[in-house]
Amino acid sequence: MNERAYAGLQVLDMSQGIAGPYCAALLAQHGADVIKVEPPAGDWIRLMGGGEQGMSALAVVNNLGKRSICIDAARPEGRELIVNMAQRADVLVENFRPGVMAKLGLDYAALSAINPRLIYLSISGFGDSGPYAHKPATDSVLQAMTGMAMINKDAAGQPRRFGLMVPDTATAIYSAQCVGAALYARDARPESGGRGRHVRISLAECCAAFQAGPILDEFLFAGQYKPPITVPAGVFATRDGHVVLATLRDAMWQGLCRALSREDWLAEPRYATAALRQRAGDEINRAVAAIVASRETREWATLFEQHDVLFAPVQDYAALRADPQMRHMGYFGEADQPPYGALSLPHAPGSVRSGSLPAAPRTGEHTREILGELGLKKREIAALETSGVVAHLDAV
């Protein structure tokens, strides 16, 4: 028996970019057979951030384990092929602007009529109606609009974009969860009659949900003093790097005082409780910073571990891949990824893993294979390629 939860699940991924493709890639890493439908020119993410042969870093990580077919959905023959694939699919993922799929005759109403069991996931920027429905939504736009850049402001109050594609990645994870819930409702609840459903999700709502805690904080403490969660807390420079420190309980504070050789702080009345330390947060953080800067990271690591202090060295990605805990748990696998060869990449959390990861497809790599599965003969496939309705890797 295949241990992967989604083994046998058929997914048609018509999305481009990150949010939809990464959602589908998560389903693939849990065993789903995911067919990526790309336009003849390929998914636009293949051109973002450099890379060889259309295999940018984002194109690789967001499409692991899929097969790729290139179809011109603007042509009637192309749409017919997509309809044929949708008849066999359990899940369809799309992230076009509202109305685009309806114009193509590939919206939920049309496809659910021929495949009532279909789970149809639509990802939009701001929702399928309202004043922003047709507004283009990018990572930077969403980080600015949803307060994410403001929560990441610097010491001078200047808003800053997070260096990660947070809106897209969070949306992909929420989307995968919603697909799982919809599949459960279809297959495990008799009252559903085995019917699928149209799941609508937007980057804007996912960004809001992802920041629920800070949003509530701002409401509860509007116009009031907002104490820090813990003191000390933050990133502190050592002689040769940086560490992160935090104290969640009094015992942790006591351990930190001993590690810093500041046992006198244990008798300081102004530091006697967490609430009092929060009031003196700036003072404590400055004092801790001055002490931590006097030694190298490895020295502090020994002391902090000895006194059970909550800390971590600040690592780059190379150090993360080499980290003994990450290696022990097998959190990274290796993909044999054309045109690069072996690439070290993280597994999808919770997925069944063997140490290896399936490669991401090149543009149109599986066009002929997938058309053959639809029952088309070689001459029919050749005719579609000649007319430009489909494209194969050799012609892309």
At 256-309, the pLDDT tens digits run 999 999 999 999 999 999 999 999 999 999 999 999 999 999 999 999 999 999
Asked if residue 186 has pLDDT above 80, the reply is yes
Decide if 298 contacts 234 (C-beta within 8 A): no
Asked if residue 83 has pLDDT above 70, the reply is yes
Q: What is the mean pLDDT of the chain?
A: 95
Specify the higher pLDDT residue, 99 or 396.
99
Task: State the average pLDDT over residues 60-79.
Answer: 97
Q: Which tens digits make up the pLDDT trace of 157-172?
A: 999 999 999 999 999 9
Domain hosting residue 306, numbered range? 233-315
Domain count for the chain: 2
* 238 and 202 part of one domain: no
* 259 and 152 part of one domain: no
* 136 and 269 part of one domain: no
Q: The CATH number of the domain where 81 resides is what?
A: 3.40.50.10540
Residue 219 lies in a domain: no
| pLDDT band with cut points at 50, 70 and 90 for residue 2 | low
* 282 and 136 part of one domain: no
| pLDDT band with cut points at 50, 70 and 90 for residue 395 | low
Instruction: Give the residue from 290, 315, 340 where a domain finishes.
Output: 315
Residue 241 lies in a domain: yes
Asked if residue 210 has pLDDT above 90, the reply is yes
Q: Which tens digits make up the pLDDT trace of 110-160?
A: 999 999 999 999 999 999 999 999 999 999 999 999 999 999 999 899 999
